Structure 1
């Protein structure tokens, strides 16, 4: 059997990024947390932390953290199922780490947190912004029990559910289009008109060009790591970008933004990935995710296989 006091100390270090911060969060001294980590490593005969700044678990340590989270959620679920017998038992706040891409968090995922806040489950959320392509690797490394990804393929021990497709529109302000695309959306104009990218991994604008312009065009880009920043940059004539329809349709309707090519969207599928160890414990969360996705995402048939790079 594992010593869960030691594992909780490890989990606190992962969440807080240092032993001192973990000690504050646990109401303990730093030396006491260090001793628990040391005892854990001695007992299992393996190092669990990378002693860097910020401190973080190695791959084995991360797996232990996910195991600890899963056990905590399963215990809470067990107590919940016998609530009539354990009505006086103090509930604990279980923290769920979820990998979510910024476009989802900024446009529809907050509905999930809102629905959870109205319920009785004792869950706290640790949302980590992660590229929906790279989230697959994060799950494989044991860095999360729950994630949104753009591929149906599930990591071993996980199961995936199709959520729907995010609709992206290539948008800019009318003034930007008038200045940079006076003769329409041409390859030559696209080469010189500043575009927006979330990060060097973001290639949605290239995918949109390939689909609707039928060309490969080198772009000049502003890098803005914020979905809301993308929309603001488009409104302020800074560049054109691929924005979620549910963040820009109102601006298009008001005339503050326009599509570079009307009715030429790019659809990207999203999948909800959940470790089988915690799937029953967070069933209510999954139900709220499916409800919010049904309300906000395009419910077309899922593609056989899709990969894209976009945080």
Structure 2
């Protein structure tokens, strides 16, 4: 199978379009199309869904996995031979809360390594594994312990989430029967947040009942700030919010914390830079997160 065609397939999937892939590869969109047609003819399969963005079909995902492995090995080989001043691309799926907290230490360590570049894909930890299966990334932070086929899984630690608000909100909505959850304003990340969904179910809060009192803030840092200034109550990682609990700016609403075990899953591939990334991820996580007893 032509490695140039596989490189082109990978570029299209990563960039999301034939035109952007052409720009990255330094060729015309027509040449990109011809390469994919040749690859599809050689495999006898349709490899891409021509949508916006362009995505791989089931058959295409198999080739994307192979192409990404080849790209990593080739980049490392070239670096060792001194043939290219090219950083090794490391695609990683990570959730927002992790990126906003302990993963910063991973980025700092990889920056010192010098020969690696990170390409982070942000997704909820309940869905990062699907990106690993598709070959979109070579490593993922996930809550699933069972390794994907061709991957290894390593326990990292336990992320604890707490329901918090300002003291004023807690005071205003505390009744003789307890907290009036259905009356309190709420801050959400977005429509797909498994942790907050669980917290709401545990407290019998339904979005359609309180919709007029819901704010949507789609980034971890801004979400924390929204809760801190009193826009509503929210659910935050304990390691992210601890300083505000200590200062009294925020208070825990109850003791029904949610604990999520996190795992690092990555391809079973002999790669110096991937081993370095794995070491950094495990070290950073185990330093920052409570460990299961």
Answer whether TM exceeds 0.5 for this pair.
yes
Match of 1:126 among 109, 119, 129: 119
Query: Partner residue of 1:282?
Result: 274
Query: Partner residue of 2:13?
Result: 14
Quote the Cα distance in structure 2 between the aligned partners of 1:277 and 1:178. 54
Structure 2: unaligned runs, 5 residues or longer: none
Query: Partner residue of 1:249?
Result: 242
Quote the Cα distance in structure 1 between the aligned partners of 2:18 and 2:198. 44
Quote the Cα distance in structure 1 between the aligned partners of 2:26 and 2:288. 41
Q: Is the 8 A contact 2:106 2:280 kept in 1?
A: yes
Shift, 1:229, TM fit: 2.5
Quote the Cα distance in structure 1 between the aligned partners of 2:54 and 2:188. 30
Quote the Cα distance in structure 2 between the aligned partners of 1:126 and 1:184. 49
1:101 aligns with 2:92: no
Match of 2:290 among 288, 298, 301: 298
Quote the Cα distance in structure 2 between the aligned partners of 1:126 and 1:69. 13
1:164 aligns with 2:163: no
Quote the Cα distance in structure 1 between the aligned partners of 2:231 and 2:85. 50
Distance change in 2, residues 1:205/1:51 (3 Å) = closer
How many residues matched? 288
Q: Is the 8 A contact 1:73 1:278 kept in 2?
A: no
Measured against aligned partners, the alpha-carbon deviations of 1:113-161 in whole angstroms (never above 9, x if no partner) come to 111111132x222211112112233333333321111021111111100
Q: Is the 8 A contact 1:198 1:225 kept in 2?
A: yes
Q: Is the 8 A contact 1:14 1:56 kept in 2?
A: yes
Quote the Cα distance in structure 2 between the aligned partners of 1:38 and 1:110. 41
1:196 aligns with 2:190: no
What is the 5 A alignment of 1:134-283?
134-181=127-174, 183=176, 185-186=178-179, 189-205=180-196, 207-208=198-199, 216-218=204-206, 220=210, 221-261=214-254, 265-277=257-269, 281-283=273-275
Shift, 1:222, TM fit: 3.4
TM-score normalised by the chain length of structure 1: 0.84
SS in 1 for 2:113: coil
Quote the Cα distance in structure 2 between the aligned partners of 1:223 and 1:249. 22
Quote the Cα distance in structure 2 between the aligned partners of 1:23 and 1:77. 24
Quote the Cα distance in structure 2 between the aligned partners of 1:175 and 1:199. 25
Q: Is the 8 A contact 1:109 1:292 kept in 2?
A: yes
Measured against aligned partners, the alpha-carbon deviations of 1:17-60 in whole angstroms (never above 9, x if no partner) come to 11111111111111111111111111222111111112222222
Query: Partner residue of 1:304?
Result: none
Shift, 1:195, TM fit: 2.5
SS in 2 for 1:222: strand
Distance change in 2, residues 1:208/1:31 (3 Å) = closer
Quote the Cα distance in structure 1 between the aligned partners of 2:197 and 2:52. 36
Q: Is the 8 A contact 1:11 1:68 kept in 2?
A: yes
Quote the Cα distance in structure 1 between the aligned partners of 2:205 and 2:283. 38
